A and B are shown apart, each in its own frame.
Chain A
């Protein structure tokens, strides 16, 4: 008789709970826009915060509310923008693929003032006598950007500075926010010529602290056929809307500082 009670009590309990939950799911139903899960599906789902919202689902609800454009996600790029545009029923503008770029190639080429042996974090290293580098602008190489990268695209290279893996980089710019020296910029993935230096000191001072610093000689500026490269604040900067990656500046730079990441143009030996 005991087993009958056991089966009955548990069976009835289960049935009652099932019914209550079934009723509750109808009574307490919250109407959500059916497009919301579709948009979340179209987003990469890394919750990196590159769009400026608190994660992918927040970004999706903002796109749905019309507060953010369909291409709000820098990570998903054109691919997810097209999908979301289809869901939202609007045209998507083609977005050019951008990647992050570190404006320093110093590392082992840069002079050190002391050896830092503390917490491996750039901001922490900067607190100790303004950092171990002589250069007040260079990459410290303690990997705050590496820790910030959700896509395994950021690594500390052999020469001790941060390097971007362009295939993996999604241009979310989490690294740029993490860099205490603001060295990381966003540039078109199609362009390959970069000036990896951010030193704003005058030539002599810049030369004294690093072997690959920009000394603002303006040779690149004078030789650029497109007027894409200019020296601003004693440091060469490339306007990627004009740059054709011809690589003339790479051959002209006396410091062999400007590089072509594609490897097509290699700097001449210094005279």
Chain B
């Protein structure tokens, strides 16, 4: 039944409990880096990558550092420390060892060191009592949900740029309204039942 649980977690993270549209985490890169599909894809890929890694490392930190010392109340501060250090390390590692991946993701990595979606996935993993595999899957699919949301949003915004919207709604206001409408659309997925 392991596989079914993982599938349920994945579909939940991508659609029903989408990080942006139903949990409202990671809104700042969602609004900030969604003017063009190219950059939105890069940002989404970088978030997916970091969320997967962060889930793994924070789960380990919680299991082997915080739980033995009964320090669960320090999850937030510890996770921020772990994620920030991890992203810094990964950035340096990529620049040296995988320059092609670095040129694709590099400029986005520093932007998401303390992203709330990344911290959110780490805390939710613990809250939901996920094991290691489930945590990593939840992190990666949560990132994919973010990627889906930001790419959809960017493709709408590219067209919005040409729309003749009322003066008061030009730019960010109309983008926020669009995001709200998309969130309404994604609410439809909450009726989704897996098994």
Binding site for B on A (CB under 8 A): 2, 5-6, 9-10, 13-14, 17, 20-21, 24-25, 27-30, 119-121, 124
Contact = CB atoms under 8 A, between A and B. Distances in A.
B92 A5 contact: no
A13 B81 contact: yes
Contacts of B164: 119-120
Q: Size band of the B side of the interface? A: 20 to 34
B99 to A, nearest CB: 8
B5 interface: no
B69 interface: yes
6 contacts: A6-B69, A13-B82, A17-B82, A24-B93, A119-B162, A124-B162
B93 A2 contact: no
B97 A28 contact: yes
In the A-B complex, the 8 residue pairs with the smallest Cβ-Cβ separation, listed nearest first, are A17-B85, A28-B96, A28-B92, A5-B69, A119-B162, A24-B92, A30-B95, A24-B89
Interface in B82-102: 82, 85, 88-89, 92-93, 95-97
Nearest to B74: A6
Interface of B: 61, 65-66, 69-71, 74, 77-78, 81-82, 85, 88-89, 92-93, 95-97, 162, 164
Given A30-B96, A119-B162, 16 more contacts: A5-B69, A5-B70, A9-B65, A9-B66, A10-B78, A10-B81, A13-B61, A13-B82, A14-B81, A17-B85, A25-B92, A28-B95, A28-B96, A30-B95, A120-B162, A124-B162
A29 B96 contact: yes
B78 A13 contact: yes
Nearest to B61: A13
Nearest to B97: A28
Interface of B is mostly: helix
A9 B72 CA distance: 12
Contact of B85 (A21, A25, A28, A120): A21
A20 B85 contact: yes
B105 to A, nearest CB: 15
A30 B93 CA distance: 10
A119 B160 CA distance: 11
B71 A9 contact: yes
Contacts of B92: 21, 24-25, 28
Contact of A10 (B70, B77, B89): B77
B96 A20 contact: no
Nearest to A29: B96
Nearest to B93: A28
Nearest to B161: A147
A14 B84 CA distance: 11
Of A5, A6, A14, A25, the most chain B CB neighbours within 10 A belong to A6
Contacts of A30: 95-96
Contacts of B85: 17, 20-21
B62 to A, nearest CB: 12
Contact of A2 (B70, B78, B97): B70
Contacts of A20: 85, 89
A121 B162 contact: yes
Contacts of B70: 2, 5
Contacts of A5: 69-71
A119 B158 CA distance: 13
Contact of B81 (A2, A17, A120): A17
B184 to A, nearest CB: 27
A17 B83 CA distance: 10
